[in-house]
Amino acid sequence: MAVGTFASLESVRGYHHEQYGREVAHEHELFSAGVFVVNCVFGLAVECPPLGLESHRVEDDQILASSISHHGFVAQRGRLNMQSSDDEDDVYGGAWCADSEEKEHWFQLDARREVEYTGVITQGRNSETQDDFVSSYFVAFSNDSRDWTVLHDGYAEWLFYGNVDKDTPVKTEFAHPVVARYIRILPQSWNGSLCMRLEVLACPLPTTYHTENDVTPTDDLDYRHHNYKEMRQMMKVINEECPNITRIYNIGKSSQKNKMYAMEISDNPGEHEMGEPEFRYTAGLHGNEVLGRELLLLLMQFLCKEYNDDNPRVRRLVDGVRIHLVPSLNPDAYDLAYEMGSEMGNWALGHWTEEGYDIFQNFPDLNSILWGAEDRGWVPRVVPNHHIPIPENFLNGSVAVETKAIIAWMERTPFVLGANLQGGEKLVAYPFDMQRPPRATSADGRGARRGGGRPVMEYHMSEETWARIQRQDEGALRETADENMFRWLAVTYAHSHLTMTETYHGACHADDVTGGQGIINRASWKPVVGSMNDFSYLHTNCFEISIFLGCDKFPHESELALEWENNREAMLAFIEQVHRGIKGLVRDVEGKIIANATISVEGIKHDVKTASTGDYWRLLNPGEYRVTARADGYTSQTRLCMVGYEAGATSCSFTLTKSNWARIREILAQSGKKPSRVNPNSETGITSVADKKGPAANPQNERLRQNKCNWILFC
């Protein structure tokens, strides 16, 4: 056991243990104060998982420290990869920091029962301006928190070397496991201020008692992390086991030429079936957020196995929905994170693509186009409120190849509902993800009326009333036209998840921002421009949300079974929401399908379009709706459609007749002339007919043409 008084950095890191097995022979030697050192057979030492500081399985009341430098740097901020807020002087500091005037410093963890400690992982303070980290420390153990024994070799106490920078985690494994309840880290030297974040490695002792963190999986699935090759092999095995309901394809390639694989699960894979909605789950937008990847691989296994076992719920899902699962949208970055392993990559490693893009916010900013057009009064006559085209200059700019592949996939598949699985928080975020800039206001900031330079009449109101109005206005700046539907979708996942609404301990890095509901509007939380969710909503029919699965971006393999149990019901329940609302076909009187028809719901300023097969789906909450179908060359039709509380979408189909306008166009086309719609508000919409080479016959027509040109330039 002797390694010297001062363990060198190389020797501390040199214990690379084989996979832990309980069959390893060992004996307990009395260390002191009831603490035992476990002597393992050489070469078969223990490899233990994290105790759960980063994942928050270790609760706040299990953590204690000798002192704090500021109320924002309490012991509970000492979790591995804890992130500070933008204002580093508030209550959300990026580490535990001790009071420098104290003579004794320690960070203590109570495991609440005896465990087998095998090591620690340390990290410096998360800060944009400070460079604080602990460079050496002792480790002590106790079973009663009063009598402590510092880890030693029988001759001298072991001094462990810590960090050399503030971001990179450093893993230190003990020469032998130590059985105890409490562990203390005793910093001895540091750079800057005494600040640190850490994780503790420990194995539970054999016991007959069941604790809240113990999981006995009910599904016979493969609970492991899978690298790129293993992921591909796993998908192949599932496809071979369920060839009648699965299909593997790729949506494109990454910058390093890795294929972005997808699995389709449907009763008729490879084809869009008329009347069957399309759903997608995606994961791995950020390569170091790996839980979503493994959950989708587990979901593939589960659906295949349960379908073959005639599970009625799974049968209904697979037979009634075309499900697409993409476990890794950023495979290159995953390789970087996987190489470092669980807990060992810093917060940013593997977040971006190989070329440095954050895929999630690398999409066209269609929000600004829509909002700018709304401010000018162009919606919906000149600019639509849906399927907003991508600006021509977008693809000429800085766009990841992965983003281009995702956009093409979204455009060719008529998705209705989807979710992207992320990490680092535990909540569901729904769009808009971008904050709408307020319109021009008067000097006092309370708005100005239209018109000339006339003064604005001031109404004196209480500060409370004014604050309430401001809050309402701020909410309106973030809400989509389908705010209630998005909230329902988010609530469905969060409340079906086993722990997402248990927010009484706070969130991962700050206080709970969801009000105990587990859901948040992204623009009110962490607004971003050009998000995948906003693009999906404004460019396609698909409603998409972001599901943040947990505080730990790269959980240890031992936690995957627990995470599957936490998320399984939520994942299934969310897929089932694709049937909420109305669906139908749009045909002409001859029974021919009408593709690209527009479906509008009165009171909701966001339309959807029919697919190439003439079918559509419109997500709606229960209620009574006036729905209108429009198509170029046809007279619009309006129907009253009811959405009930029972399972399944309400059928609401349309039969359109050719309009007089369409017939006039056909006649004029035969004579080589072109009709002009000049006044969009007129009953007929026809005011003049000009020769193709002739000038515009009406100044209103020229103004409308100019408005369209301005919008194109604006795009």
Contact indicator for 38, 46 with CB cutoff of 8 Å: yes
Looking at the structure, do residues 58 and 128 belong to the same domain, yes or no? yes
State the residue range of the domain holding 132.
9-204
Using the Cα atoms of residue 358, residue 363, residue 367 and residue 369 in order, give the sign of their dihedral.
positive
What count of other Cβ atoms lies within 10 Å of the Cβ of residue 30? 9
pLDDT of residue 22: 31
What are 33-78's pLDDT values in tens digits?
A: 455 554 443 334 568 999 999 999 999 999 999 999 988 999 999 9
More confident residue, 507 or 296: 296
C-beta pairs of 44-47 under 8 Å, 24+ apart in sequence: 44/18, 45/15, 45/17, 45/18, 45/176, 45/177, 46/17, 46/20, 46/116, 46/118, 46/177, 46/203, 47/17, 47/18, 47/19, 47/20, 47/118
Boundary residue ending a domain (143, 170, 204): 204
479 three-class SS: coil
Q: List % helix, strand, coil for the chain (3-state, nearest 5).
A: 25, 25, 50
338 three-class SS: helix
Q: Above 70 in pLDDT, residue 89?
A: no
Q: What does the block give as tokens for 29?
A: 């030697």
pLDDT of residue 675: 58
More confident residue, 497 or 452: 497
Looking at the structure, do residues 617 and 710 belong to the same domain, yes or no? no
Contact indicator for 121, 344 with CB cutoff of 8 Å: yes
Looking at the structure, do residues 111 and 29 belong to the same domain, yes or no? yes
What count of other Cβ atoms lies within 10 Å of the Cβ of residue 136? 17
Looking at the structure, do residues 184 and 72 belong to the same domain, yes or no? yes
Instruction: Please compute the mean of the pLDDT values over residues 107-116 and round it to a whole number.
Output: 97
Range scoring the smallest mean pLDDT among 44-48, 329-333, 565-569, 645-649 = 44-48
Q: Above 60 in pLDDT, residue 5?
A: no
Range scoring the smallest mean pLDDT among 51-65, 308-322, 426-440, 602-616 = 426-440
How close are the terminal C-alpha atoms of the chain, in Å?
70
Q: Is residue 704 part of a domain?
A: yes
Instruction: Please compute the mean of the pLDDT values over residues 540-566 and round it to a whole number.
Output: 97
Q: Above 50 in pLDDT, residue 618?
A: yes
Q: What does the block give as tokens for 261?
A: 């694989």
Boundary residue ending a domain (137, 170, 204): 204
Looking at the structure, do residues 636 and 703 belong to the same domain, yes or no? no
In angstroms, what CA-CA distances link 220 with 217, 229, 232, 305?
A: 7, 22, 20, 9
623 three-class SS: strand
Q: What does the block give as tokens for 255?
A: 């910058």
| Strands, E assignment, 63-214 | 63-65, 96-97, 107-123, 133-142, 149-150, 160-161, 170-191, 195-204
Contact indicator for 285, 540 with CB cutoff of 8 Å: no
Q: Above 50 in pLDDT, residue 10?
A: no
pLDDT band at 693 (very low <50, low <70, confident <90, very high): very low
Instruction: Please compute the mean of the pLDDT values over residues 695-703 and round it to a whole number.
Output: 42
Amino acid at 417: L
What are 236-264's pLDDT values in tens digits?
A: 999 999 999 999 999 999 999 999 999 99
H/E element, 422: strand 415-422
What CATH number is attached to the domain comprising 591? 2.60.40.1120
**Pick from 329, 296, 293: nearest CA to 532:** 329
pLDDT of residue 639: 97
Task: Give the residues across from 116 on adjacent strands.
Answer: 179, 203
Q: Is residue 104 part of a domain?
A: yes
478-502 burial by CB neighbour count: b if 16+ within 10 A, else e? bbbbbbebbbbbbbbbbebbeebbe
Looking at the structure, do residues 154 and 49 belong to the same domain, yes or no? yes
Integer Cα distance of 346 and 172 in angstroms: 16
Q: Is residue 544 part of a domain?
A: no
More confident residue, 295 or 438: 295
Q: Above 70 in pLDDT, residue 607?
A: yes
Strand pairing category for 107-123 and 170-191:
antiparallel
Q: What does the block give as tokens for 93?
A: 């500091």
Q: Above 50 in pLDDT, residue 676?
A: yes
pLDDT band at 23 (very low <50, low <70, confident <90, very high): very low
Q: Is residue 391 part of a domain?
A: no
Integer Cα distance of 163 and 126 in angstroms: 13
Integer Cα distance of 49 and 469 in angstroms: 51
Give how many domains the chain has, as a whole number.
3
**How much is the pTM?**
0.84
Q: Is residue 373 part of a domain?
A: no
Q: Is residue 300 part of a domain?
A: no
Q: Above 60 in pLDDT, residue 446?
A: no
Q: Is residue 115 part of a domain?
A: yes
Contacts of 316 (CB under 8 A, 6+ apart): none
CA torsion 285-291-295-298 (nearest 10°) is 120
Boundary residue ending a domain (162, 186, 204): 204
Looking at the structure, do residues 613 and 696 belong to the same domain, yes or no? no
pLDDT band at 673 (very low <50, low <70, confident <90, very high): low
Using the Cα atoms of residue 558, residue 562, residue 567 and residue 572 in order, give the sign of their dihedral.
positive
Looking at the structure, do residues 600 and 642 belong to the same domain, yes or no? yes
Contact indicator for 59, 76 with CB cutoff of 8 Å: no
Integer Cα distance of 198 and 108 in angstroms: 11
Q: In sequence order, what DSSP letters do the residues of 217-246 get, joined into one string?
A: -SS----S---HHHHHHHHHHHHHH-TTTE
pLDDT of residue 703: 41
What are 468-509's pLDDT values in tens digits?
A: 434 445 566 679 999 999 999 999 999 999 999 987 667 898
pLDDT band at 17 (very low <50, low <70, confident <90, very high): very low
Average pLDDT, the chain: 84
What CATH number is attached to the domain comprising 187? 2.60.120.260
**Pick from 525, 338, 501: nearest CA to 430:** 525
pLDDT band at 659 (very low <50, low <70, confident <90, very high): confident
Looking at the structure, do residues 181 and 108 belong to the same domain, yes or no? yes
Looking at the structure, do residues 57 and 172 belong to the same domain, yes or no? yes
Looking at the structure, do residues 654 and 668 belong to the same domain, yes or no? no
Cα angle: 271, vertex 274, 279; to 5 degrees:
65
More confident residue, 215 or 570: 570
Q: What does the block give as tokens for 417?
A: 């509902």
Integer Cα distance of 164 and 174 in angstroms: 20
**Pick from 382, 350, 357, 330: nearest CA to 530:** 357
Q: DSSP class of residue 557?
A: G
What are 383-431's pLDDT values in tens digits?
A: 999 999 999 889 887 899 999 999 999 999 999 999 999 999 999 999 9
Looking at the structure, do residues 174 and 119 belong to the same domain, yes or no? yes
Instruction: Please compute the mean of the pLDDT values over residues 681-699 and round it to a whole number.
Output: 36
Amino acid at 429: A
Provide the H-helix boundaries in 56-178: none
Q: Above 70 in pLDDT, residue 314?
A: yes
Q: Is residue 157 part of a domain?
A: yes
What are 174-222's pLDDT values in tens digits?
A: 999 999 999 999 999 999 999 999 999 999 998 755 555 555 566 889 9
Contacts of 391 (CB under 8 A, 6+ apart): 364, 369, 715
